[in-house]
Amino acid sequence: MRIALLNGPNLNLLGVREPAVYGTRTLAEIEASLAQVAGTLGCTLTCVQKNGEGELIDAIHALRGQCDGAIINAGAYSHTSLAIRDAFSSVSVPFVEVHLSNIYAREPERRHSMLAPGAKAVLVGFGAAGYELALRGLVGLIGGARA
C-alpha cells in the first residue's frame, strides 16, 4: 500500500515555530517516525512539504494512480482552500486531515476546515501522535490488514 504524507505552509519550521502550540518535534523527526510505522503496516510512505498552495495542489495531482491514500496537514490552507479539497476529489485519493493543535479551541478563523467535508477522517489536537493515528486509521479504512 502506498501512502503520501503532505504537509503545507510553515510546517517545515516545526520544532522552532511556536513550540507551545505545535510541539518540539521537527518535521524530519515526525516523518522518520511515521516511516517506521508505515513499514510495520506494510506500507511505503512518501513525504512532501510545500509552502505554496499551488505547489501543494500539484503534489496532490501527482498522487493520481501513484498512491492509495494520503495524510494531509495543510496548515492554514485547511481553513481557506476549496482548491485543495477539489484537488483530492479530482484524483480520487482518500485522505485524512491532521492538525497538531486543536483547531476548534483556537482563533475563530481556524475553527472551520474546507478540507473536512472531503476527508475520510479528521484528527486534531494530538500533536505529532496525530500523524500515526491518521496513518493507522487510513490504512484500516482503505483495506490494510494490520492497522
What local confidence, expressed as pLDDT, does residue 145 receive? 38
* pLDDT band at residue 17 under the 50/70/90 scheme: confident
Backbone angles phi, psi at 125, to 5 degrees: 85, 5
Cell 521537527 locates to 26
Determine if the pTM surpasses 0.95: no
72-89 exposure pattern, b = at least 16 Cβ within 10 A, e = fewer: bbbbebbbebeebbebbe
Q: Which helix (H) or strand (E) holds 138?
A: helix 129-141
Can you tell me the distance from the alpha carbon of 124 to that of 61, in angstroms, rounded to the nearest whole number? 25
Q: What contacts 84, CB < 8 A, 6 or more positions away? A: 53, 56, 57, 60, 72, 74, 77, 78, 114, 115
pLDDT tens digit string along 54-63?
999 999 999 9
**E strands, 34-143, where?**
44-49, 69-73, 95-99, 121-124
What local confidence, expressed as pLDDT, does residue 106 receive? 84
pLDDT tens digit string along 68-115?
999 999 999 999 899 999 999 999 999 999 999 998 888 788 788 989
Helix (H, G, I), strand (E, B) or coil at 76: helix
Strands 69-73 and 95-99: parallel
- CA distances from residue 38 to 46, 81, 85 in whole angstroms, order as listed: 10, 28, 24
Q: Nearest to residue 25, comparing CAs of 45, 7, 2, 1? A: 7
Annotated active-site positions, please?
22, 99
